[in-house]
Amino acid sequence: MRPRRAHILLPLLALTAVCAVVACGSDTASRNSESAVYVARIDGEIDQQTAEYVGRVISDAGEADASAVVVTLDTPGGRLDSMQEIVEDISGAKETPVIAYVTPQGARAASAGTFIMMGSDVAAMAPQTRLGAATPVDALGQDIPGDMGEKVTNDAAALITGLAQAHGRNEAWAESAVREAQALDASDARRKGVVEYVQPDLRSVLQAANGASVQPKDLTLQAANATLIRESPNFQERFGIPLYTLVVPLVIVILLGAGAVFAVFRSRRWRAMTGREGMIGELGTVRRKISGSTGGMVFVHGELWRALQEDPDSPPLEPGTDIEIVDFRRAFVIVRPAAK
């Protein structure tokens, strides 16, 4: 029964290990407190997985009645449709302030990242960071030519100026970031009213913004001493495919592997039972006299075997005597009279 139990437990243990590896959670046990701030990180290009990840974090924060969400950014930009999903999720979080923060030093929020900054409820930057250069380009990073380029640029300009206006930011500069690819460093962005805060770290941002009125949501930000809950992308948000699409085939492979191991074990056990070792205890009949150390012949399982007595000093075993096999010695089976 042990091999069968192992056969069942192996895939279960492997599945548990897979789930443990890919499971993503927060770095804090407390998730249902109004003094919590949920943190999402955009690091690299903005795509559909990024949008799903940020949207989920905002949703989690709303369900937990968190004080705020912080989206930290270091991005060269990305897809406009994914950026718009993020902006819509930020706007849709009516009871949760969303802070966008460009960090660490040397980071940027270019192109699509600039739109997210303009659409956030609070915009902050670390020193020596930058934003802007938000002119739409094609998938190869080239200008979009002709009428299509003009249409896309006009649409993007309308979107970013509308976001800037809604949040009381510099509309003229926001439009220039799209039409002229204008960019600013943190200090100039603060001076020109593009962002509200320039602070060296997230705690400093929360302290500086504490008590601020968040418009147009009409909320007051209270997050100075909040617990930070950093949410990581889950498997699908990280790799773009659902976890089950890998787990199910993996479990099947494990079952087939486990099955092969079990088959090998069973095959070896069968060979041991049906080989010479499996004959110990079997009964047969003497066909040629066995005396002392002189070998004779026994008939067991339809075959003739050369045989020696277990006790060489015992009386000879005559033909027709029933015997029991007790051991093997080289080419001989070792026998003794069968019990009556």
CA–CA distance, 255 with 262 (Å, rounded to integer)? 10
Contacts of 100 (CB under 8 A, 6+ apart): 70, 71, 73, 109, 116, 117, 119, 120, 122, 123, 124
Tell me the pTM: 0.68
What is the structure's pLDDT at 37?
98
Binned at pLDDT 50, 70 and 90, residue 8 comes out as very low
What are the residues whose beta carbons fall under 8 Å from the beta carbon of 21, sequence distance 6 or more?
none
Q: Name residue 160's amino acid.
A: I
Cα–Cα dist 216/143, whole Å: 34
CB atoms within 10 A of CB 291: 14
Output the CA torsion 89→91→94→98 (10° steps): 80
Mean pLDDT taken over the chain: 87
- Find the mean pLDDT for residues 29-49: 81
Query: How is 194-250 classified by DSSP, letter by letter?
Result: S-SEE-SSHHHHHHHHTTPEETTTTEE---TTPEEEEPPP-HHHHHSS-THHHHHHH
Which tokens is 30 given? 């407390």
Residues β-bridged to residue 299: 285, 304
Q: Which of 30, 94, 151, 314 is catalytic?
A: 151
pLDDT digits (tens, 9 = 90+) for 206-255: 999 999 999 899 999 999 999 999 999 999 999 888 777 767 777 788 88
Q: Is the model's pLDDT at 201 over the cut of 80?
A: yes
> CA 298 from chain center: how many Å?
66
Q: How confident is the model at residue 268 (pLDDT cuts 50, 70, 90)?
A: low
Hey, what amino acid is at 256? Answer: L
Residue in 67, 111, 120, 176 annotated catalytic: 111
Helix spans in the chain (H): 2-22, 48-63, 80-92, 112-119, 146-166, 171-179, 186-191, 202-209, 235-239, 244-274
Q: Are 195 and 124 in contact (CB under 8 A)?
A: yes
Q: What is the CA radius of gyration of the chain?
A: 39
CB-based contacts of 144: which residues, under 8 Å, 6+ apart?
Answer: 136, 137, 138, 152, 153
Q: What is the pLDDT of residues 93-141, one digit of tens each?
A: 999 999 999 999 999 999 999 999 999 999 999 999 999 999 998 877 7
Averaged pLDDT for residues 45-65: 97
Q: Is the model's pLDDT at 169 over the cut of 80?
A: yes
Q: Which whole number is the average pLDDT over 258-283?
A: 68
| Percent of the chain surpassing pLDDT 90 | 66
Separation of alpha carbons 27 and 41, rounded Å: 14
Is position 151 annotated as part of the catalytic site?
yes
Contacts of residue 52, Cβ cutoff 8 Å, sequence gap at least 6:
236, 237
Average pLDDT over residues 33-52: 92
Q: Which amino acid is at 178?
A: V
**Residue 267 is among the residues annotated as catalytic for this protein:** no
pLDDT above 90: residue 53: yes
pLDDT in tens, 242-263: 777 767 777 788 887 877 777 7
The answer to whether residues 116 and 73 touch, using CB atoms and an 8 Å cutoff, is yes
The predicted-structure confidence for 285-317, as pLDDT tens digits, reads as follows 999 999 877 789 999 988 899 999 998 888 999
Counting residues of the chain whose pLDDT is more than 70, the rounded percentage is 85
Instruction: Report all structural domains of the chain as residue ranges with CATH numbers, in order of start.
Output: 1-23+242-274 (no CATH), 25-233 (3.90.226.10), 279-337 (2.40.50.140)
Predicted local distance difference test score (pLDDT) of residue 111: 96
At residue 27 the predicted structure's pLDDT band, cuts being 50, 70 and 90, is very low
pLDDT of residue 2: 42
| Residue 24 confidence (pLDDT) above 50 | no
H/E run at residue 114:
helix 112-119
State yes or no: cis peptide before 104, omega within 30 of 0: yes
Nearest to 286, CA basis, from 275, 297, 294, 301: 297
Label the pairing between strands 283-288 and 108-110: unpaired
- Predicted confidence at residue 267, as pLDDT, reads 61
- For residue 340, what pLDDT is reported? 76
**pLDDT digit string (tens) for 317-333?**
999 999 999 998 888 89
Instruction: Report residue 197's pLDDT band, with 50, 70 and 90 as the boundaries.
Output: very high
Q: What is the DSSP letter of 31?
A: -
pLDDT at site 259: 77
